[in-house]
């Protein structure tokens, strides 16, 4: 098990998948998305799950303009789901202009961050802990990682307080 990512660490590189604006499946290096930028990388346990769908993701969509005004270049959402599920989930937020939905289908990147969560007993397999990282030029500046099923430190509002 990888050690949990922490403030001061350089985020690992890894390949994630998403559908681009022309509806083409793309594989992208996280470093290519984040190098030289100030990014928010946030993770959720699963697409279409209650807290993720009604609070966590909508919060970043609603606060995206405010986050960008405070210097955030990219807002990247990662979930241990396949890219087709992430595409369908993204479509449920037609107002979204700034949050990029990235699939970590086999949890490889989530393991590299040390943020995997075994939810097999709930029938969900390996998922991600809920988290929000503020990353500047690939280095973690803020690491808000939830404990258990909580949703108290990884919200867009909490990240805004750090900017």
Please check whether residue 10 lies inside any domain of the structure.
Answer: no
Q: Assess whether pLDDT exceeds 70 at residue 1.
A: no
**CATH classification of the domain holding 131:** 3.40.30.10
Q: Point out the residues that are catalytic.
A: 52
What's the pLDDT tens digit per position in 103-140?
999 999 999 999 998 887 887 778 889 999 999 999 99
Backbone φ, ψ for residue 44 (5° rounding): -130, 155
What's the domain range around 25?
15-162
Structurally, how many domains does the chain consist of? 1
Which of 104-108, 141-145, 148-152 has the least mean pLDDT?
Answer: 148-152
Please check whether residue 3 lies inside any domain of the structure.
Answer: no
Phi-psi region of 64 (alpha: psi -120 to 50; beta: other; left: phi over 0): alpha
What's the pLDDT tens digit per position in 21-49?
899 999 999 999 999 999 999 999 989 98
Q: Assess whether pLDDT exceeds 70 at residue 2.
A: no
Question: Whole-prediction pTM value?
Answer: 0.94
């Amino acid at each position: 098990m990888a050690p949990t990512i922490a403030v001061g660490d350089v985020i690992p590189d890894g390949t994630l998948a998403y559908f681009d604006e022309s509806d083409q499946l793309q594989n992208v290096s996280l470093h290519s998305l984040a190098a030289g930028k100030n990014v928010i990388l946030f993770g959720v346990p699963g697409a279409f799950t209650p807290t993720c769908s009604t609070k966590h993701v909508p919060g970043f969509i609603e606060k995206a303009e405010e986050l960008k005004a405070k210097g955030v270049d990219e807002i990247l959402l990662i979930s241990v789901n396949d890219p087709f599920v992430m595409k369908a989930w993204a479509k449920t937020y037609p107002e979204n202009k700034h949050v990029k939905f990235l699939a970590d289908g086999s949890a490889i990147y989530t393991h590299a961050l040390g943020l995997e969560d075994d939810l097999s007993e709930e029938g969900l397999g390996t998922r991600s802990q809920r988290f929000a990282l503020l990353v500047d030029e690939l280095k973690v500046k803020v690491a808000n990682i939830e404990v258990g099923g909580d949703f108290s430190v990884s919200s867009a509002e909490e990240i805004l307080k750090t900017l």
